[in-house]
Structure 1
Amino acid sequence: MELGSIVEFLENKSILVTGATGFLAKIFVEKILRIQPNVKKLFLLLRAADTKSATQRLHNEVLGKELFRVLRDKWGSNLNSFISEKVTPIPGDISCENLGVTNLNLREEIWREVDVVLNLAATTKFDERYDVALGINTLGASHVLNFSKKCVKLKMLLHVSTAYVSGEREGLILESPLKMGKALNGASGLDVDKEKKLVEEGLNELNELQATEETISLTMKELGMKRALMYGWPNTYVFTKAMGEMLLGQFKENLPLVILRPTIITSTYMEPFSGWIEGIRTIDSVLATYCKGKLTCFLADPECILDAIPGDMVVNCMIVAMVAHANQPCEMIYQVGSSLKNPLKLVDLHDFFFKYFHENPWINKDGKAVKVRKSILFSTTFVFHGYLAVRYMLPLKVLQFLNFLLCQILRGMCNDHNRKIKMLMCLVELYKPYLFFKGIFDDLNTDKLRLAATESSSKADLFYFDPKCIDWEDYFINIHIPGVLKYVLK
């Protein structure tokens, strides 16, 4: 692997970015415009009906964000002309053929000009509707691949997946490709076309029955979870992302392909400034509940490793991988995380939360400081449910029921007075696969990429992505938690 100057590689290049309003996409776009103003063009695909709507989304949901303040300070009144020259919003939808780009002239311009395609479009809801998740995470990946093959100057397709396509595997998880049709639990019959047909038939049947939108949504959510569990994945999100990887590997032909698998993405570590984040992301759902004093107990293994990685490190890895594998007809997989090099235990994260909010309490709507205490962490489902039964005076006979059935009964017994337990059960069910995760993500390929960047680029420090440099206590207490409070909980 040889790397020249990473910054120079980006000069005069045109890049197509899907999912342009997403968290990572914003960080990527901001970084490229900041470090390489001589980039030729950023084509940003946004889900929109027309160019006017796409332009509005670009300015409201991307460029208007606090993330771009450094760029605004740098360019001042010239920023708008710089943006109009370098950035082209594209109305489209990756769940459609040709990415939903209906303007033929624009489509042909992209095919003629683009050097790199970066696929960041995804729905990340664990329990997303199956038709939606399949359309974006699975079939969308195929549509991006087919579109990329028509780009005559293309040097690389970089697809961002998730490390958790591994399911709930234990031990060292290698940077290995997923084989088409291979289920995690050994079940036979996994076929993307079959899944697509199943969804279409299900929707047709619901429409014939004149089902309400609420019924359709619930049915599709249940179908997604059912199909995921059938083949060994814990939720619809990672199942559909896994099938997307399978399609890319099977049909890429000679296209240079890099699949990046980040772990749990957190706020920016340094660039363009520390602590920027957008939306409630995984662990922040727990944080948002805990700071308000509503999380007194939780189901989790305290010794479990929580694999977190700041968003700017993921983007830096993406950029370096682009340069390293341009024009190489191969499939490379990079797992970007911290569990091997700098593990973070759940019990430590819990301590960071307590320390921060003990010293900086949340002020509620009545203007009173909310006192927090260390939550009780239960390492088994049975003991956790027993605690809930006693604390909330639920009949102890519920302890006879196990796992899923018990969850349903506990949830069903909650009334408005006990919304706290209902919210808690939802959090537990959603995140349980990751609160007992026993896997460690190998990053041998990623480590080689880091080394290559350090040895061959004079500006390698611009593209840091080594998790060993992170002091987790300092990061969470002084960067991440304040960032979530400022940019998400406001």
Structure 2
Amino acid sequence: MKTAMDSMDAARIIGYFKGKSILITGSTGFLGKILVEKILRVQPDVNKIYLLVRAIDAPSAKQRVQQEVIGTELFGLLRENHGEGFQQFIEERIVPLAGDIIYENLGLEAPRLEELAKEIDVIVNIAATTNFYERYDVSLDVNVLGVKHLCHFAMQCAKLKMFMHVSTAFVSSDREGLIQEKPIKPGESLCEGTFLDIDAELRLVREVKKELSASDSLDVHKMGRKAMKELGLQRARHFGWSNTYVFTKAMGEILLGQLRVDIPVVIMRPSIITSVRADPLPGWMQGTRTIDTFIIGYAKQNLSCFLADLNLVMDVIPGDMVVNAMIVAMVAHSEERGAQVVYHATSSLRNPATYSVLYESGWRHFTENPRVGKNGEVIPTRGMYFFTTIARFHFYMILTYKLPLEILHLVNLLLCGLFSRLYNDLNRKYKFVMHLVDVYGPFAFFKGCFDDMNLERLRMTMAMKTTEDRMFNFDPKTIDWDDYFCRIHIPGVLKYVCK
């Protein structure tokens, strides 16, 4: 039996995926696409990659995979490598499945599920709802019950060699100090004196939904949506987590620990995932990460201030490095019956990057590549003011926006509602900004440092002698952050997110 301490090189990693059948959830997401592309590129003789996607039927699932996965720029190198035979290669290897992890049978018919159970060698669960302020019922369905349903399916898979689950390093919430790569125990919470009972949380949601459905309100749907969002945030903070996303991801991990029987399990916890650093397409990304709000606002010059302490470390890791770590960990722990290993795919311990590095890289990039306005004039790059505490930001918002809003409210009352529409619009925007700060603020001032000793041990088994070996690099020490942000990540955000 192979163990994590065996030496690892590209030949062993590539060879592992030959003839394997892999089930991947969350393939339409950022990380999922990178994983699918990488496996297909390094091991064209993989047997089948089954992609479970939300769709009403097989043709819709196929169309989704074609448009949202295979048709993206990320697959350009693979398309080039296969030339005219690309589409045939994809059809022989990729099998879209119309289903959903929120259902007990993954939304699949029983005969299909039985066929899959006989064939699957590896399960990779990347599916998640990552919205910090998601409805509590939706988050529980995807991030918790989804794990349960996949585990139940995994137990039916006769050939299963590996269950890879992607979580987040921030299941630690906003704790300070060194955060270790340890599983979360059943009942464990971050708030002293509380016991986290997942079944009780599921019952609570059912009861609240029942009460809401019995309401006489005209807009039950809107009221229910708001109530579920607020319930998620309230329950998360009751147990010591800062938002619904990290809270339910922690519950997903707990459930995974409770349900495993004889399945080798690897939990990968990335920090903030950024654009592809090396291959196949440097700078490629999808969606807006927390730090990218700052880059986009800076690029458009409609953001004069930001919430951050430039001296603090922002734990970021390129998407391709996370996928490389996942792939190597799958191979290392395959067939280790009963094993459960936790890995932090993070950078704060090995090669910390501060917010000042990002800011200075942004300044340099926009100075060397000035933006040009519609009239052809160069837009000057201006500095930004950073609020180093939430209290200072609140004070600024009260002086600059809240007080003028109250004056407008008074004038509106005196003029019999003449400015009602304007006041309501501005007040809504003000409340929205303050809500964003409430939900995202803790991450701007995160003072934890993620221990990655487990992943470092895995890195030490890597040969890294050949170009092929370096294709699986996941060592943050090899990143020059200034160069990465200035030359790769910021141009990537502008090209693929801002279009």
The answer to whether structure 1 residue 116 and structure 2 residue 125 are counterparts is: no
1:16 to partner: Cα distance: 0.4
- Which residue, out of 102, 106, 110, partners 1:95? 102
Match in the other structure for 2:87: 80
Matched, 1:482 2:478: no
224, 230, 250: which one pairs with 1:222? Answer: 230
* Aligned CA distance change for structure 1 residues 284 and 338 (closer, same or farther; 3 Å): same
Shift of 1:320: 0.2
Deviation by residue 1:157-182 (Cα, 9 ceiling, x = unmatched): 00000000001111110000101111
1:88 match: secondary structure: strand
2:209 maps to which residue? 203
**Equivalent residues of 2:55, 2:99 under 8 A apart:** yes
Q: 1:366 to 1:181 in 2, by over 3 A?
A: farther
- Residue correspondences, number: 476
For residues 175 and 449 of structure 1, the distance between their equivalents in structure 2, rounded to whole angstroms, comes to 13
Task: Decide whether the 8 Å contact of 2:273 with 2:318 is kept in 1.
Answer: yes
CA RMSD of aligned residues (A): 2.4
TM-score by length of 1: 0.92
Instruction: Give SS of 1:261's match.
Output: strand
Amino acid corresponding to residue 54 of structure 1 in structure 2: A
1:105, distance to aligned residue in structure 2 (A): 3.1
Corresponding residue of 1:375: 384
Cα distance in structure 1, aligned partners of 2:161 and 2:493: 37
Letter in structure 2 aligned against 1:97? E
Question: Match of 2:286, SS?
Answer: coil
Which of 151, 156, 162 is the matching residue for 2:157? Answer: 151
Q: Does the aligned pair in 2 maintain the 1:6–1:457 contact within 8 Å? A: no
Match of 1:2 in 2: 6
SS in 2 for 1:84: helix
Partner Cα distance (2:97, 2:7) in 1: 31
TM-superposed CA distance for 1:461, in Å, is 1.4
- CA spacing shift, 1:284–1:419, aligned 2, 3 Å: farther
Match of 1:328 in 2: 336
TM superposition shift of 1:431: 1.9
- 1:343 matches 2:352: yes
Structure 2 residue matching 1:454: 3-state secondary structure: coil
Is 1:133 aligned to residue 139 of structure 2? yes
Distance, in Å, in 1 between the alignment partners of 2:391 and 2:78 is 52
Aligned residue in 2 for 1:441: 450
Q: Give per-residue Cα distances to partners, 1:368-393, cap 9 Å, x unaligned.
A: 65434221112223322223334447
**8 Å contact 2:276–2:284 — kept in the other structure?**
yes
Higher mean displacement: 182-191 or 127-136: 182-191
Instruction: Trace 1:454-469 onto structure 2 (pairs within 5 A).
Output: 454=463, 459-469=468-478
Contact kept, 8 Å, 1:267 with 1:310, in 2: the verdict is yes
Q: How far apart are residue 397 of structure 1 and its match?
A: 11
Task: Answer whether contact 2:390 2:441 (CA < 8 A) is retained.
Answer: no
Partners of 2:226 and 2:400 lie apart in 1 by: 31
Q: Structure 1 residues 461 and 137, CA, compared in 2 at 3 Å: closer, same or farther?
A: same
Name the counterpart of 2:173.
Answer: 167
State the AA in 2 paired with 1:467.
P
Q: Contact 2:464 / 2:470 at 8 angstroms: preserved in 1?
A: no
Equivalent in the alignment of 1:410: none
Whether the aligned pair in 2 keeps the contact of 1:341 and 1:467 (CA below 8 Å) is: yes
Give me the whole-angstrom Cα distance separating, in 2, the residues matched to 1:295 and 1:424: 13
Q: 2: CA distance between counterparts of 1:170 and 1:480?
A: 27
DSSP 3-state at the match of 2:455: helix
Distance 2:214 2:432 in 1: 34
User: Which residue in 1 is equivalent to 2:286?
Assistant: 278
Kept after mapping to 2: 8 A contact 1:298/1:428: no
The CA deviation at 1:287 is 1.8
CA distance in 2 between counterparts of 1:93 and 1:444 reads: 35
Change (3 A) 1:365 1:138: farther
Report matched runs for 1:260-299 at 5 Å.
Answer: 260-299=268-307
Distance 1:396 1:215, change over 3 A: closer
| Cα shift at 1:254 | 1.8
Distance in structure 2 (CA, Å) of the matches to 1:131 and 1:431 = 21
Q: Aligned match of 2:42 in 16, 35, 50?
A: 35
2: CA distance, partners of 1:71 / 1:277: 17
Note if 1:353 corresponds to 2:359: no
Structure 2, unaligned stretches of length 5 or more? Answer: 408-421
Unmatched tracts of structure 1, length 5 or more? 399-412
Please identify, of 186-195 and 116-125, the stretch whose mean Cα deviation from structure 2 is larger.
186-195
Q: Give the residue type in structure 2 aligned to 1:349.
A: L
Paired residue secondary structure (1:44): strand
Q: Is the 8 A contact 1:3 1:456 kept in 2?
A: no
Equivalent-residue separation in structure 1 for 2:303 and 2:112 (angstroms): 51
Q: Secondary structure of 2:296's match? A: helix
Taking the aligned partners of 2:22 and 2:446, their CA distance within structure 1 comes to 36
Sort the Cα spacing of 1:87 and 1:394 in 2 relative to 1 into closer, same or farther, 3 A: same
Give the structure 2 partner of residue 315 of structure 1: 323
